[in-house]
């Protein structure tokens, strides 16, 4: 499987294949929507009833707690945000100091009528707060108000930091906040569609419970995506998307340090950038158009525009094809294009240095996030070399043949063959990250430069993590007449890409580049089994919401 801008995909696990094979009919969808609407109305009624029951009780200390009125939330007064302390910053050094914190009520536990514990969460960090009756400060009604809060509500707490004698197991911060004031900024509905603790549970925990004769809730992938906002609050998902952010940051910072210029290319184009059937076609004011499968053509045109080295981080699109059960329709591409002096190995040199630097950055800067992901989805750290292994396609095919797997000499590797080769490379060379180059020309896009010594091969390469492709790249054809010839051979109407071809008529340097699937890099680095786990709001053949 080889194309310039990767569709970040992965075969689902058997359980996920079963889930996804049951496509929801319109009738079933309407039924589910009606059920959710009924639940929403019931929850709203419950909220009103709860608020009413609390408000009827008179309390001289009522100003120390309550729901913040809408008027106060409409930016009524200017406040110093420095008055708030981040939960992450709550440490022993703040003992006996008064703090103001805001977070989600992750857990609420009453201890009789005069005491309650609230665990507040902010950006993955949690602290235990104690609401205890105290004369002239905390009333029994305030304790009752605290215990009536719904989980995941946003609350402000003013209190004093204390350091308990024993370790706190249910929170990341090893201090407590003795609550003096408590205000609810935003109430969550009393009954959540999915519970955060259920969504955060690992398969190992579930299997152990089953073996012990217990029953734990398993939240499947479709349910997670239906209520993605809640699912994103789990520690693992917080980790996944912070890791993803670091991948993008490392990608950008490394390339900027190497003299690359960040560009932004159009996502609506007149002709297909890749060819084939996997194209989103649409009408643009009477003219045929399609969503860009990659920024490929405009990357090359920018090289002709004298930028020398360019990169882009942006959305790319692919429609349904023979792998619709596992391919996304929209994903994030990390794309690079650069002049080359003599050989396409210069592009592979950038890949080598870029990804070793990126992996080092993730291991160094995302330790807590990687641990959070590993607790729910256990995985082994990625094995990679300081200088990335490079094999020719022929060498890879020979390794597969020696292991008993027959491969068409000038065909592409299928997913099974790629994974098998990944295992063989790990066994022989001790790495899960490597480059395979000199691919057969027949399986590469029209703009790929053929090899000088054998026209059946090309100056192209793919890069793999854990036996799955993450990058496809090559030297480009910069001779316009030859480019036209190759486009026609691939069934592309040259009239739709005339501006692209013409750009090479004004003088174009030899150049090459590559495309990376951001979601796929994160998925494979973290050893995850489904690309939807690393797509913030996935778009696939069955999903366009939320």
Residues annotated as catalytic are 318, 320, 326-327, 469, 472, 520
Residues 6+ apart with CB under 8 A from 133: 114, 115, 139, 140, 142, 143
Burial class, 41, CB count within 10 angstroms (exposed 0-12 / middle 13-18 / buried 19+):
exposed
* CA dist., res. 190 & res. 42, Å (int): 9
* CA dist., res. 254 & res. 252, Å (int): 6
In the three-class reduction of DSSP (H, G, I as helix; E, B as strand; rest coil), residue 522 is classed as helix
What the block records as the tokens of 51 is: 């608020």
Rounded to whole angstroms, what are the CA distances from 143 to 64, 140, 178, 187, 191? 11, 5, 12, 17, 21
Rounded to whole angstroms, what are the CA distances from 246 to 64, 165, 232, 240? 41, 37, 17, 10
Nearest to 431 by CA among 381, 470, 357: 381
What the block records as the tokens of 209 is: 């419970």
Helix axis angle for 393-402 and 415-429, nearest 10°, is 90
* CA dist., res. 487 & res. 494, Å (int): 7
Helix axis angle for 235-257 and 518-525, nearest 10°, is 120
* CA dist., res. 300 & res. 263, Å (int): 12
Nearest to 121 by CA among 218, 196, 201: 196
Length of the chain: 546
Rounded to whole angstroms, what are the CA distances from 427 to 259, 322, 430, 466, 471? 37, 32, 6, 12, 22
Q: How far apart are the first and last CA of the chain?
A: 30
- Asked if 146 and 99 count as a contact pair (C-beta separation under 8 A), the reply is no
Say how far residue 116 (Cα) sits from the centre of its chain: 37
């Amino acid at each position: 499987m080889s194309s310039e801008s990767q569709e970040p995909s992965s075969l689902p696990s058997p359980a996920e294949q079963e889930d996804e094979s049951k496509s929801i009919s319109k009738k079933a969808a309407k039924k589910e929507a009606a059920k959710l609407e009924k639940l929403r109305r019931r929850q709203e009624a419950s909220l009103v009833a709860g608020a009413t029951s609390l408000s009827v009780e008179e309390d001289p200390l009522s100003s120390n707690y309550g729901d913040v009125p809408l008027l106060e939330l409409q930016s009524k007064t200017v406040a110093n945000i420095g008055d708030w302390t981040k939960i992450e910053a709550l440490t022993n050094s703040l003992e006996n100091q008064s703090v103001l914190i805001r977070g989600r009520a992750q857990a609420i536990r009453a201890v009789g009528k005069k005491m309650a514990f609230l665990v507040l969460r902010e950006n993955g960090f949690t602290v235990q707060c104690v609401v205890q009756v105290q004369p002239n400060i905390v009333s029994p009604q305030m304790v009752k108000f605290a215990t009536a809060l719904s989980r995941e509500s946003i609350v402000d707490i003013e209190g004093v930091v204390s350091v308990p004698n024993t370790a706190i197991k249910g929170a990341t911060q090893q201090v407590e906040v003795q609550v003096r004031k408590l205000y609810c900024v935003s109430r969550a509905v009393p009954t959540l569609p999915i519970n955060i603790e259920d969504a955060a549970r690992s398969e190992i925990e579930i299997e152990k419970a089953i073996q012990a004769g217990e029953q734990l809730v398993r939240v499947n992938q479709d349910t997670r995506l239906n209520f993605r906002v809640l699912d994103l609050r789990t520690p693992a998902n917080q980790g996944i998307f912070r890791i993803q952010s670091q991948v993008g940051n490392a990608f950008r910072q490394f390339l900027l340090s190497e003299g690359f210029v960040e560009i932004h290319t159009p996502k609506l184009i007149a002709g297909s950038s890749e060819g084939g059937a996997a194209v989103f076609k649409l009408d643009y004011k009477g003219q045929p158009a399609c969503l860009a499968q990659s920024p490929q053509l405009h990357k090359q045109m920018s090289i002709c525009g004298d930028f020398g080295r360019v990169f882009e981080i942006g959305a790319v699109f692919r429609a349904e094809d023979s792998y619709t059960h596992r391919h996304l329709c929209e994903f994030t591409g990390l794309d690079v294009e650069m002049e080359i002096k003599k050989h396409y190995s210069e592009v592979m040199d950038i890949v080598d240095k870029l990804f070793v630097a990126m992996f080092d950055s993730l291991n160094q800067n995302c330790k807590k996030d990687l641990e959070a992901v590993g607790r729910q989805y256990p995985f082994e750290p990625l094995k990679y070399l300081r200088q990335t292994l490079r094999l020719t396609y022929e060498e890879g095919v020979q390794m597969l043949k020696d292991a008993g797997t027959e491969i068409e000499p000038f065909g592409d590797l299928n997913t099974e063959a790629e994974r098998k080769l990944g295992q063989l490379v790990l066994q022989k060379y001790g790495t899960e990250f490597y480059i395979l180059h000199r691919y057969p020309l027949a399986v590469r896009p029209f703009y790929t430069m053929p090899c000088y010594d054998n026209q059946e091969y090309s100056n192209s390469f793919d890069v793999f993590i854990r036996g799955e492709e993450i990058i496809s790249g090559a030297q480009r054809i910069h001779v316009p007449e030859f480019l036209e010839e190759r486009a026609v051979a691939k069934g592309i109407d040259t009239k739709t890409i005339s501006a692209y071809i013409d750009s090479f008529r004004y003088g174009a340097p030899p150049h090459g580049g590559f495309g990376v699937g951001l979601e796929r890099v994160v998925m494979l680095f973290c050893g995850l089994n489904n690309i939807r786990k690393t797509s913030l709001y996935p778009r696939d053949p069955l999903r366009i919401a939320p």
